[in-house]
Amino acid sequence: MTSRTPRRTRTPSVALLAALPALAVATGGCGLLGTDKKADTGEAGQGKVTITLAGPNQWNTSGSSFGPAWEALVDAFEKREPGIEVRTQVLPLDGFTQTITSQLAAGTAPELVFNQPPHKAHEVHALDEELQKPNPYVPGNQRWIDVFRKEYFGPDVSKALSKESGKLEYIPFNLVAIGLFYNKDAFTKAGIQQAPATWEDFRAACAKLKAAGYDPVALDKGALAAGWTWESITTQLTDKYYDQWNYFDVTGKPGKAPSVTEKSLSKAIKEGTLTAAKTPEVAESLKLYKEFFDNGTPNWSGVADGGATVGYRDFVTGKAAMSWGTDFAVEALKTDAKFAIGTMPFPTITKATTPVSTDAPARYGASVGGTSYMVPSTVKGEKYAATIKFLQFMSSPAIKPWLDATGGLPAIEGVEPSSETAGLLEGEWGKIYRVHGLPGGPEGSPFREVFDGFLLGKRSLQEELPDLQKWWDRGVEAGIKKNNWGDEDWAR
């Protein structure tokens, strides 16, 4: 069952391929396999240890460089460690997964590889022991693991662990998060003093933006807005069911999980505790869902997918004032948009909007599904030592200029996010929701196929509800089969 919806299953952006296994890369792909300018200089200088980092370009369309900010960061490391040279190998977006998976299996991977491609645990170094040692680039640090924001990365964070070994096998350079970008100039022109915090604020802002000549929200035919909006609404309105639906822990055993899991939702649907027709929050969610889309680009179903920023062209040209996006979109936005940008959480739906609300705050949470790298198990000796040093440097305050330039969200303590992306971690929005977003259809089914007819006004609410239940029932049965839950009493 595709409960986690589009953030995890559909997108051309790399960051969203991770935990999404997601959150996102700037628009566009990169070119041919390439390396940065250092690769053209021949062998490393005498006495130097050369290590190579290989992964996709998440920030621009270059096929040879991650960008000036990255190169400046590497230069800073090399000045700190003159005996080490770091080379960057840019892998094509449409082939990096196969390349890295094949190299790891063959034992030919370079010293650092992007962590998202499928691999076996024995093909990479587990870093748990290294993380218990001090990070020399963080003054006063006693254990490297302590520099990370513990809610996102560490031995107690299930999504940070290898599913096969239960170990920590990569280091996150940043976090990935979603939220709404907005045009500060458009807000000022429309007389909006501050970003809307509640749904009522959002309604009022949309009316002012329309009066000022803007489409309030940029939308396109991609799956991102459909999934993120549905999740952001349903996680709020169903928060009241946290205890009632929380049947299983994160391992799938009876117990409680910090966030109600897909398995728990499947049980609720299977047993009829959660139904599209009788659970009032479902119909209310659909109404607000359509209202959001009705405030978007009028012909959104015919607008090309904008990548990591929904309705990218309409947003950067100033036609629309708000847009869904991820922190990985910032570098492109700062280049293409001719106005100051800000970020904000999705609005909180309060009792002032609907009586089924409990005033539960809008939450989504960040993830380590951004830029993360691991060390192949074939890396030994001085190259391994040099690689660990680079990873330690990348989890120190020295990365702040790079994060600011790219809009990256810090995975470590003591580093503040850039002004453009601070809103993606603001308040409760930066915390993970308590109830998993309500599902769309079975895994692999296009999420928009479930809702487009309703969002476009071609199907009524009364028609959508039973149709949605059919999607859920199919998704639950598919999930039971895929996850081998069939022997459990609830699944029979």
Q: How far apart are CA 289 and CA 354, in angstroms?
A: 13
* Domains defined for the chain, CATH in brackets: 25-175+369-408 (3.40.190.10), 178-364+431-491 (3.40.190.10)
The set of residues, in sequence order, having a beta carbon less than 8 Å from that of 415 and lying 6+ positions away, is 397, 399, 400, 403
- The string of pLDDT tens digits covering residues 208-218 is 999 999 999 99
Q: Indicate the DSSP class of residue 345.
A: P
Look at residue 144 and tell me whether its pLDDT is greater than 60.
Answer: yes
| Burial 436-470, CB ≥16 within 10 A → b, else e | bbbbbbbbebebbebbbebbeeeeeeeebbeebbe
Percentages of the chain per state (helix, strand, coil), in multiples of 5: 40, 15, 45
Look at residue 59 and tell me whether its pLDDT is greater than 90.
Answer: no
In the block, tokens 């997918």 appear at: 305
In the block, tokens 């953030």 appear at: 7
Q: Indicate the DSSP class of residue 56.
A: E
Q: What mean pLDDT do residues 358-384 have?
A: 95
pLDDT band at 1 (very low <50, low <70, confident <90, very high): low
Look at residue 5 and tell me whether its pLDDT is greater than 90.
Answer: no
The candidate with the shortest Cα–Cα distance to 5, out of 230, 222, 217, 286, is 230
Q: How far apart are CA 248 and CA 251, in angstroms?
A: 8
The DSSP bridge pattern shows strands 49-56 and 112-114 to be parallel
- The string of pLDDT tens digits covering residues 423-465 is 999 999 999 899 989 998 888 777 789 999 999 999 999 999 9
Measure CA of the first residue to CA of the last residue in the chain; give whole Å: 16
| pTM, rounded to two decimals | 0.82
> Is residue 478 within 8 Å of residue 1, measured between CB atoms?
yes
The whole-angstrom distance between residue 160's C-alpha and the CA centroid of its chain comes to: 14
The candidate with the shortest Cα–Cα distance to 392, out of 369, 416, 375, is 375
Q: Indicate the DSSP class of residue 399.
A: G
Backbone angles phi, psi at 334, to 5 degrees: -65, -25
The Cβ-side half-sphere exposure at 164, using a 13 Å CA radius, reads: 9
- Higher-scoring residue by pLDDT: 369, 78: 78
pLDDT band at 154 (very low <50, low <70, confident <90, very high): very high
Q: How far apart are CA 343 and CA 329, in angstroms?
A: 11
3-state secondary structure of 461: helix
The two tokens of residue 195 are 């970003």
Q: What is the pLDDT of residue 472?
A: 96
The set of residues, in sequence order, having a beta carbon less than 8 Å from that of 317 and lying 6+ positions away, is none
Percent of the chain scoring above 90 in pLDDT: 76
3-state secondary structure of 397: helix
Q: What mean pLDDT do residues 405-425 have?
A: 91
- The string of pLDDT tens digits covering residues 63-100 is 999 999 999 999 999 999 999 999 999 999 889 999 99
